[in-house]
């Protein structure tokens, strides 16, 4: 195995991108500065199952999975064939298409809170739509939020500069954040702003999984104060269970937002919820040209049928647990404080050195050493498992993690981790906000 990855083409495209694309990429979290720049691939050429090949021809087992949308595996036949069949009929029309109704029907059958849906294109769009629906329904303006909801003004109002620039100052008073698992803190906010709050927004399991009592406690508080509850299921939806985090937790919100797990990578999102709330969306200005785009809706139908009929969730939970357990063991064996928190299909690996600068360097070294051995993991991100991660992929990954952690242990013992790095400057992801 080569000492360093060959990344010539990746680096060449990146230099060109910096000239042509603001920030170099369309998704902040995909910028190379967030991984291990210089020692980690930047451009992908193609993918199949849980494997990707980069622009320089290097092959990897992938746990980044497009930041979550790939649940069944790349180029999954049942979904891709549905897209191809729809492509032969047409992509989008001036009239409606049956796939809209069939996709909506499936979501309402599978998701506990869903009695009506609206389709949009991305996560930020549906969380913003949900906030508008909640405000219109309740006649209140304040939103209490815990975590990342996307780039809409409602949510960006919570960010400090530089990410938070460009948002009208007056919007900052319209959203307050709360620590998700602290029911008392939420009660204090609901008491302080009694009569002003439209809805409470949260994600039940990204990063760390909320204790079940905390989520039930939030539901009870919303009922007590007459406030709507909206689950952002953009990551948990169709990943923890066929009915998402709400099925897994056994707590039904009033509204919910889905995106990443809904179409195995095709761009589609939906806001859904109780009929009496959702039907208000008929009168609001929530309308986009591409919401009824049929390739993605055909993918939704194929994808959700696969979730219903194949043992997708049994598989991702089992393989995810195998990975979490193996990483913990590899950490213990090598004397490196690394383990995963969260839930098996989307666990969160982390290093737990006391010194944050050492943690950051160790992440760089870990990514450098796993990437050069053919495994892609995201710094501080979730380890996503697809239906196509087989036991042998997990075992191969664990062997790589063990070797990488052995190098980490040596480097930490040497007292100079930087000396082992071929990595440029790393910047923290903006998404770590409010986790
Ligand atoms: C929990 C959560 N909500 C909302 C979003 C925003 O989704 P999008 O990037 O599709 O706008 C994301 C994106 O990562 C997310 O993880």
To test the pocket of ligand 1, the residue of 123, 130, 154, 209 to mutate (highest count of ligand atoms within 8 Å of its CB) is 123
Which atom number of ligand 1 is nearest to the Cα of residue 127?
Answer: 4
The pLDDT assigned to 143 comes to 98
Residue 340, beta-bridge partner list: 349
The pLDDT assigned to 109 comes to 98
pTM summary value: 0.95
Mean pLDDT of 72-87: 98
Q: Are 269 and 122 in contact (CB under 8 A)?
A: yes
H helical segments located in 139-287: 153-156, 183-192, 212-225, 244-249, 275-278
Q: Is 234 in the pocket of ligand 1 (CB under 6 A)?
A: yes
| b/e map 323-335, b = 16+ CB within 10 Å | bbebbeebbeebe
Mean pLDDT of 328-333: 98
Binned at pLDDT 50, 70 and 90, residue 428 comes out as low
The pLDDT assigned to 127 comes to 98
**How many other C-beta atoms can be found within 10 angstroms of the C-beta atom of residue 172?**
14
Binned at pLDDT 50, 70 and 90, residue 434 comes out as very low
Atom 10 (ligand 1): residue with closest C-alpha?
123
Question: Is residue 207 predicted with pLDDT exceeding 90?
Answer: no
The pLDDT assigned to 290 comes to 95
Q: Is 127 in the pocket of ligand 1 (CB under 6 A)?
A: yes
Q: Are 150 and 122 in contact (CB under 8 A)?
A: yes
Question: Is residue 5 predicted with pLDDT exceeding 70?
Answer: yes
The pLDDT assigned to 432 comes to 43
pLDDT digit string, tens, across residues 100-135 = 999 999 999 999 999 999 999 999 999 999 999 999
To test the pocket of ligand 1, the residue of 30, 124, 269 to mutate (highest count of ligand atoms within 8 Å of its CB) is 124
H helical segments located in 176-285: 183-192, 212-225, 244-249, 275-278
Q: Is 152 in the pocket of ligand 1 (CB under 6 A)?
A: no
For 49, the 3-state DSSP assignment is: strand
Mean pLDDT of 84-96: 98
Atom 9 (ligand 1): residue with closest C-alpha?
123
Question: Is residue 420 predicted with pLDDT exceeding 80?
Answer: yes
To test the pocket of ligand 1, the residue of 259, 267, 269, 434 to mutate (highest count of ligand atoms within 8 Å of its CB) is 259
Question: Is residue 4 predicted with pLDDT exceeding 70?
Answer: yes
Distance 262 CA to ligand 1 centre (A): 13
The pLDDT assigned to 429 comes to 55
Which atom number of ligand 1 is nearest to the Cα of residue 124?
Answer: 11
Mean pLDDT of 371-383: 95
Q: Is 122 in the pocket of ligand 1 (CB under 6 A)?
A: yes
Question: Is residue 273 predicted with pLDDT exceeding 70?
Answer: yes
Q: 149: closest CA among 169, 170, 161, 132?
A: 132
The pLDDT assigned to 423 comes to 77
pLDDT digit string, tens, across residues 11-53 = 999 999 999 999 999 999 999 998 999 999 999 999 999 999 9
Atom 8 (ligand 1): residue with closest C-alpha?
123
Q: Is 378 in the pocket of ligand 1 (CB under 6 A)?
A: no
The pLDDT assigned to 1 comes to 74
H helical segments located in 335-420: 356-372, 391-414
The pLDDT assigned to 366 comes to 97
Helix (H) or strand (E) holding 17: helix 8-20
Mean pLDDT of 409-425: 91
Atom 7 (ligand 1): residue with closest C-alpha?
123
Distance 232 CA to ligand 1 centre (A): 9
């Amino acid at each position: 195995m080569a000492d360093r990855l060959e990344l010539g083409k990746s680096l060449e495209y990146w230099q060109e991108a910096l000239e042509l694309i603001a920030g170099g990429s369309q998704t902040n979290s995909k910028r190379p500065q967030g991984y291990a720049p210089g020692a980690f691939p930047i451009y992908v050429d193609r993918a199949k199952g849980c494997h990707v090949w980069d622009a320089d021809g290097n092959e990897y087992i992938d746990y980044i999975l497009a930041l979550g949308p790939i649940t069944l595996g790349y180029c999954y036949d049942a979904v891709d064939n549905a897209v191809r069949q729809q492509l032969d009929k047409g992509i989008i029309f001036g009239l409606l298409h049956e796939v809209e109704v069939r996709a909506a029907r499936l979501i309402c059958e599978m998701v506990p809170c869903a009695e009506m849906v609206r389709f949009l294109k991305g996560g930020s769009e549906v969380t913003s739509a949900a906030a508008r629906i909640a405000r219109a329904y309740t006649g209140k303006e304040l939103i209490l939020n815990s975590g990342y909801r996307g780039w809409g003004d409602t949510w960006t109002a919570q960010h400090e500069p530089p990410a938070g620039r460009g948002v009208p100052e007056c919007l900052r008073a319209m959203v307050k954040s709360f620590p998700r698992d602290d029911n008392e803190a939420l009660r204090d906010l609901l008491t302080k702003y009694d009569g002003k709050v439209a809805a409470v927004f949260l994600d039940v399991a990204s990063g760390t999984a909320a204790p079940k009592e905390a989520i039930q406690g939030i539901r009870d508080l919303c009922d007590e104060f007459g406030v709507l509850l909206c689950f952002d299921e953009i990551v948990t939806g169709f990943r923890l269970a066929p009915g998402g985090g709400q099925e897994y937790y056994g707590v039904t919100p009033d509204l919910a937002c889905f995106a990443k797990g809904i179409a195995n990578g095709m761009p589609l999102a939906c806001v859904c919820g109780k009929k009496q709330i959702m039907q208000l969306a008929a009168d609001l200005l929530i309308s986009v040209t591409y919401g009824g785009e049929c390739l993605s809706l055909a993918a939704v139908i194929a994808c959700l049928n696969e979730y219903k009929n194949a043992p997708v969730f049994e598989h991702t939970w089992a393989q995810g647990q195998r990975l979490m357990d193996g990483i913990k063991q590899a950490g213990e064996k090598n004397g490196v404080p690394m383990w995963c928190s969260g839930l098996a299909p989307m666990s969160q690996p982390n290093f737990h050195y006391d010194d944050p600068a050492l943690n950051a360097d160790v992440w760089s070294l870990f990514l450098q050493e796993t990437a050069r051995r053919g495994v892609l993991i995201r710094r501080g991100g979730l380890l996503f498992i697809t239906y196509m991660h087989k036991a042998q992929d997990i075992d191969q990954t664990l062997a790589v993690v063990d070797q990488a952690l052995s190098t980490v242990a040596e480097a930490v013992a040497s007292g100079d981790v930087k000396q082992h790095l071929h990595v440029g400057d790393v910047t923290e992801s903006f998404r770590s906000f409010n986790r």
